[in-house]
Amino acid sequence: MADDFELDTKDLERRMDGAIASLRTEFASLRTGRASATMLEPVMVEAYGQKTPINQVGTVNVPEPRMVTINVWDKSLVNAVEKAIRESGLGINPQLNGTIIMLPIPELNEERRKELTKVASQYAENARVAVRNVRRDGMDQIKKAKADGMSEDDQKFWETEVQEMTDIFIANVDEALETKQAEIMQV
C-alpha cells in the first residue's frame, strides 16, 4: 500500500532552485549600463569547429566601469569573437586593438531600459513556468500514490507541501524580477 509514501521534496526543491539559478544567470547577461564580465556569458564564438564561450578563447576583464576588454589568446579567433559580439544583440560595438577587443559600454537610454525590463519579465515568466512544471511533477507523483491506496489526508498534506514550496519559489522569482527591473531603470 501507499501508507509509506514519502514525496522526495528535496528533489523538487533542488529542481526549483535550478530554475531560480538559471533566472539569475539570464539576469546577469542583461546590461544595466555598467560593465560586467558576466554580460558576455551567453555569447558563443565559432572556434575550432564548434560553439565556445568567450571566456574559453580569451581573458575577459573590466578595467573601468564603462569598459570590458577581451584579450583573445589565439590571433586567428579575434575576428570570430568580434563577429559573435556584434551578432549577440547586446548593442555593443567592439573595437579591435591587436588581439585585444575593447567593448565600450554606452549609457542606456530610456527606451532601451524599458525594452530590457520587458526582456527581464520574459526571463522571469520562463522561470515561473519551470517552477510550475516541477510542481506538476510533484502533484502527479501524489496522484499516482493516491491511486495506489494513499489516504485522502496524506494526499492533502503532500499537495499542501508542494503548493507551499511552489508559492515560495514563485515569490523568489517575483522578488528577483523587481530587483533587476529597479537596477535596469536606475539612471
pTM of the model: 0.70
Give the pLDDT confidence of 123-158 residue by residue, as tens digits: 999 999 999 999 999 999 999 998 988 899 999 999
The CATH class for the domain spanning 8-27+109-185 reads: mainly alpha
Residue-range domain boundaries for the chain = 8-27+109-185, 35-104
Q: What is the pLDDT of residue 31?
A: 66
Give the pLDDT confidence of 83-92 residue by residue, as tens digits: 998 887 777 8
Which CATH number applies to 35-104: 3.30.530.20, 3.40.50.150, 3.50.50.60, 3.30.1360.40?
3.30.1360.40
Q: What is the pLDDT of residue 32?
A: 67
Amino acid at 133: N
Higher pLDDT, 2 or 184: 184
Q: Rounded to 5 degrees, what are φ and ψ at 52? A: -135, 140
- Quick one: what percent of the chain has pLDDT higher than 90? 46
Residues 6+ apart with CB under 8 A from 2: 145, 146, 148, 149, 150, 154
